[in-house]
Each structure stands twice: as structure tokens, then as C-alpha cells.
């Protein structure tokens, strides 16, 4: 039996999480798995109820389950809060408290959606890589930080063990994918912290001699991802660079509404769509649930060690898309679009 804590959060979060839970229930029923889902408040929804974006109760529940499923947090209502009270701060806190040091963001192009990308179909067809973003260190957490009237400052620091563990997990993933290439992305031509990053990645690489390792500067990487995304298999990079590059990678596939993510540590794991809370379409049954549904697939793969079940979910998404159903974000101009619940039902039907 698995216990899952769902923290739907704000905006479209509750709608896309509801879709993902429908898929989770359908697949569990099909295979006879026992799954218990417990919902907890998070983000602005929690702030309005309890005056805190992340209460101790929610954090404790996340610590005591097998996997967390997160929707999205934030919205205009909470935008002007002080820095430390913002929804973003709660997201960083949950990552840090649960020790989720590795953020996996796959960029995989579905053939049915080739023409949804703003890039030419022959550039994006066959793209299938994954970004391993370091998630609990770097400039997001470095001290000192702050600003006054005349200065603003942040600090980018990496400790040896932080680089070692993300590098190792990326090389291991490359092994699993059939000894594919790992590209480590940094700014070692300018930043000492990046030269350090590069040195450590090369040290860890000695344990994986069968895997090719390439270094790339982050500015060049941004250009290469758009120029020829197929050259990448596994990317490993720091927190800030990974934040930026994973959004670029996301657009290769046509819509951020398609992309799942997994944040994993040694004890805990959290799954969430890459997209935000999209307050402009919240509550309208318009959001694309696929990123969250695919996040459930990543949960089966990473937390429950059931890659075959994950494949079943990915296949159902692919089949549903092949029938032509499209939510608004992936529909062509003038094409009829389907609702969040409509897309969910289409995917559930393909699971049977």
C-alpha cells in the first residue's frame, strides 16, 4: 500500500491534480494496487486558511508519505507579500526540508504534437532528453543575501557533496538510458563556483568510464537546445541554470502544459507539473492536465519502481493525443479544444 499526499495549491493546481488523481485511481484499480491519498493545504490556499503558505502539519504529512503530488502555487492575490512569505518561499522550503536535491525535468516530444512547437517539426522530432537540475543549493540558498537602497546581493555556493550527489544520479540515469551522453552545463569561463562544479563532475565521472561526458557553457547551451535539441540525452546543471534551461527545453515540446517533473532526495520525493498556477484560466476547466498526469507516471517510475506502469500512463497520453483531443494550450488556431476533465477522461479511457 502506498500513501500519497496531494497538495493541489492554487490557480489551476486543484483542477490538474484532480485529473492526475483520476488517472492514478484508474491505474490502481486496473492493477489492484492499494493507494491512499491524503489532501493538505499548500500555497495561497493555505495562507488564506492558516496564515502560512506551508504549515507544519502539511510539511509533516509530506515527510510521512511515500510520495507528494503538488499542483501549483501562487497568484496575484499573494504577489505583494514580503519576500519570505511569498508562495515561492514555501516551495523552496518544502524542497529544502524534504532534501529534494535532484529535480528531473524530461523534455520529450510527442509525435502527435510535432506542430505545436514554435520550432520546425524536423528540428524537434525525436527530442528526448532529461534535465537534472540541482535543487537545494547554489544561488537560491547561498548566504549572504539581501538588498538595501544601494546594493543587492546573492551568493552562489556549492559544497563538494552537493555536486557529487547530483552528478552521480545523472550518470546513473545515463546508464539506465543505455549509456547515453551526459552534458554538464556551467559557466566555468567566468565563475569559480562553476569551475569547482566542473572539477567535481569530472571526478565523479571516473566511476562511469563507459559514459561520455561533455562540458558546455550555459549561454551556448541555451542556444544549442533551440538549435538542435536532439544532441542532448542527460543534462546536469546547477539550480539557477537548470531553472532557466528547463523552461527553454519545455517550449521545444510545444507547451509547458505537457511537462512533468520529479524532485527527489534520499528519503522523499515530490512530483509536480513544470507549469505554474495560471490564474488567468483557473477554475474554468480549461487547463491541460497532461503535465500532472505524466508526473504520476514519474511517481510510478521513481518512487514505486514500476516503470511498466509509468509506460502504460505515457502510452495512454500518447494514444489520447493521437485521437486528436487537444486542450486549448496545444490546439491549433481555430481548432476545437477540450476541457481538463475531457482530456482526463480521454486518457483514462485509453488506460483500460
Q: What gap in Å lies between CA 240 and CA 345, rounded to an integer?
A: 37
Of 183, 202, 158, residue with least CA distance to 245: 183
The interaxial angle of helices 290-302 and 307-322, nearest 10 deg, is 160
Residue 88 or 215 having the CB closest to ligand IPM: 88
Q: Which residue's C-alpha cell is 539506465?
A: 176
Instruction: Please list, residue by residue across 222-250, b when 16 or more beta carbons sit within 10 angstroms of its beta carbon and e when fewer do.
Output: bebbbeebeebbbbbbbbbbbbebbebbb
Q: Which of 22, 243, 272, 329 binds Mg ion (CB under 5 A)?
A: 243
Computed on alpha carbons and rounded to an integer, the radius of gyration of the chain in Å comes to 20
Nearby residues of 296 by Cβ (< 8 Å), 6 or more positions away: 20, 23, 24, 27, 69, 271, 313
Distance CA 263, CA 303 (A): 11
Build a one-symbol-per-residue string for 231-260: x at contacts with ligand IPM by CB under 6 A, - elsewhere.
------------x-----------------
We find the least distance from the C-beta atom of residue 176 to ligand IPM, in angstroms, to be: 24
Residue 233 touching Mg ion (CB under 5 A): no
| Closest alpha carbon to 9 in 75, 97, 67, 102 | 75
User: Which of residues 12 and 27 has its CB atom nearest to ligand IPM in the complex?
Assistant: 12
Active site (annotated) includes residue 308:
no
Query: Distances in Å between the alpha carbon of 272 and those of 6, 71, 231?
Result: 10, 6, 26
Query: Contacting ligand IPM (CB under 6 A), which of 7, 17, 67, 91?
Result: 91
The least distance separating ligand IPM from the CB of residue 143, rounded to whole angstroms, comes to: 18
**Of 21 and 250, CB closest to Mg ion:** 250
Q: Which residue is nearest to Mg ion (CB)?
A: 243
Chain positions 34 to 73 lying near Mg ion, rule: CB under 5 A, are none
Exactly one of 219, 280, 315, 332 is catalytic; which is it? 219
Give the active site residue among 187, 271, 286, 314.
187
**Is residue 243 annotated as part of the catalytic site, yes or no?**
yes
User: Is 254 in contact with 113 (CB distance < 8 Å)?
Assistant: yes
Helix locations, 98-179, DSSP H: 121-124, 160-176
Binding partner of residue 88 among Mg ion, ligand IPM, none, CB under 5 to 8 Å per kind?
A: ligand IPM
Instruction: Name the minimum Å distance from CB 243 to Mg ion.
Output: 4
88 near ligand IPM, judged by CB under 6 A: yes
Contact 315, 306 (CB under 8 A): no
Binding pattern to ligand IPM, positions 162-201, x when CB under 6 A? Answer: ----------------------------------------
Residue 187 designated active-site:
yes
User: Per rule CB under 5 A, is residue 22 in the interface with Mg ion?
Assistant: no
Closest CA to 225 of 124, 126, 106, 113: 124
Q: Which is nearer to ligand IPM, 263 or 302 (CB)?
A: 263
Least spacing, CB of residue 191 vs Mg ion, in Å: 20
How many residues in total does the chain contain? 352
> 186, 243, 271, 329: which one is catalytic?
243
Q: Where are the beta strands (DSSP E) in 197-333?
A: 213-217, 234-237, 260-264, 269-273
Nearer to ligand IPM, 281 or 338 (CB): 281
Is 128 catalytic? The answer is no
Pick the closer one to ligand IPM by CB: 87 or 204.
87
Catalytic residues, which ones?
A: 140, 187, 219, 243, 247
Query: Under the rule (CB under 6 A), what is the footprint of ligand IPM?
Result: 88, 91, 243
Query: Under the rule (CB under 5 A), what is the footprint of Mg ion?
Result: 243
Amino acid at each position: 500500500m502506498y500513501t500519497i499526499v496531494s497538495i493541489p495549491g492554487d490557480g489551476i493546481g486543484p483542477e490538474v491534480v484532480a485529473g492526475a488523481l483520476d488517472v492514478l485511481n484508474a491505474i490502481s484499480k486496473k492493477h489492484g494496487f492499494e493507494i491512499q491519498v491524503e489532501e493538505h493545504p499548500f500555497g495561497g490556499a493555505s495562507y488564506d486558511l492558516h496564515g502560512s503558505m506551508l504549515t507544519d502539519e502539511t510539511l509533516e504529512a509530506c515527510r510521512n508519505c511515500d510520495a507528494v503530488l503538488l499542483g501549483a502555487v501562487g497568484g496575484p492575490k499573494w504577489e505583494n507579500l514580503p519576500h519570505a512569505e511569498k508562495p515561492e518561499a514555501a516551495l523552496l522550503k518544502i524542497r529544502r526540508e524534504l532534501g529534494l536535491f535532484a529535480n528531473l525535468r524530461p523534455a520529450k516530444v510527442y509525435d502527435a504534437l510535432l506542430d505545436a512547437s514554435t520550432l520546425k517539426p524536423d528540428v524537434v522530432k525525436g527530442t528526448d532528453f532529461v534535465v537534472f537540475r540541482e535543487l537545494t543549493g547554489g544561488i537560491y540558498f547561498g548566504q549572504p543575501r539581501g538588498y538595501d537602497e544601494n546594493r543587492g546581493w546573492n551568493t552562489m555556493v556549492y559544497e563538494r557533496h552537493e555536486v557529487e550527489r547530483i552528478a552521480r544520479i545523472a550518470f546513473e540515469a545515463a546508464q539506465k538510458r543505455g549509456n547515453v551522453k551526459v552534458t554538464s552545463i556551467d559557466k566555468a569561463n567566468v565563475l569559480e563556483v562553476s569551475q569547482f562544479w566542473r572539477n567535481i563532475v569530472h571526478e565523479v565521472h571516473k566511476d562511469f568510464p563507459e559514459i561520455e561526458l561533455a562540458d558546455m557553457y550555459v549561454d551556448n547551451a541555451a542556444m544549442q537546445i533551440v538549435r538542435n535539441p536532439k544532441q542532448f540525452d542527460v543534462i546536469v546543471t546547477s539550480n539557477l541554470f537548470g531553472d532557466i534551461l528547463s523552461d527553454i527545453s519545455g517550449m521545444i515540446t510545444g507547451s509547458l502544459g505537457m511537462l512533468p517533473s520529479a524532485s527527489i532526495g534520499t528519503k522523499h520525493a515530490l512530483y509536480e507539473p513544470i507549469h505554474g498556477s495560471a490564474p488567468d484560466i483557473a477554475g474554468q476547466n480549461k487547463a491541460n492536465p497532461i503535465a500532472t498526469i505524466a508526473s504520476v507516471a514519474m511517481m510510478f517510475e521513481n518512487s514505486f519502481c514500476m516503470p511498466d506502469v509509468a509506460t502504460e500512463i505515457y502510452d495512454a497520453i500518447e494514444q489520447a493525443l493521437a485521437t486528436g483531443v487537444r486542450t486549448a494550450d496545444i490546439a491549433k488556431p481555430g481548432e476545437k479544444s477540450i476541457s481538463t476533465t475531457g482530456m482526463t477522461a480521454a486518457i483514462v479511457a485509453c488506460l483500460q
